[in-house]
Structure 1
Amino acid sequence: FRYHPETSSTSIRKIVEGMNHRMNEFYYRHGFVRRKVALDAAVTKVFVQRIRPGYRTGRRAVASVVHTGGNNSEAFVEPPRKAIYSL
């Protein structure tokens, strides 16, 4: 975050430049990933990776986390089906 006192309504702003890279580096350094990963991999590639022996993560697990967090616009996750009613 960066402080901008010259604007009263938005004086604290989030720094978004390079945010994805910083997040990837954070998780990589804190041991969530045990092997080297291509940080610039396409999100449309098949996503199955071993995290720890005996544990696997895949499309369904990622979709569950994404939907739980309320983010339904990821490229690799199908949005939940909702009934749309019209008049």
Structure 2
Amino acid sequence: MPKDPKKLLQEMRRSKAKWKRRDIVALYEGFGFVVEHGTKHDKIFHPDYPWLVEGLPRHRKLPKVYVSKAVKLVDRLLELEHTSQKYGH
């Protein structure tokens, strides 16, 4: 059973170590991002905010920087959604 994306985000904020690619993909997909598969890298984007884009290598184990990038991108999404709700868009 997939982990709650909000809990996963909290855990990734606490520690950037030990995460695998599937965990990062689960975080992105849990917040509505789409994973477009490529040969060596995947393109991650959000259908409602197409400028929220990130690349993700197709390796099982990834450097910690990709966890940081995922957390930052999800945080940016949450900011945009909060602003959108606040102003009724």
TM-score, length-scaled by structure 1: 0.25
| Structure richer in strand, relative to its length | 2
Instruction: From the CA coordinates, give the structure whose radius of gyration is larger.
Output: 1
Structure number with higher helix proportion: 2
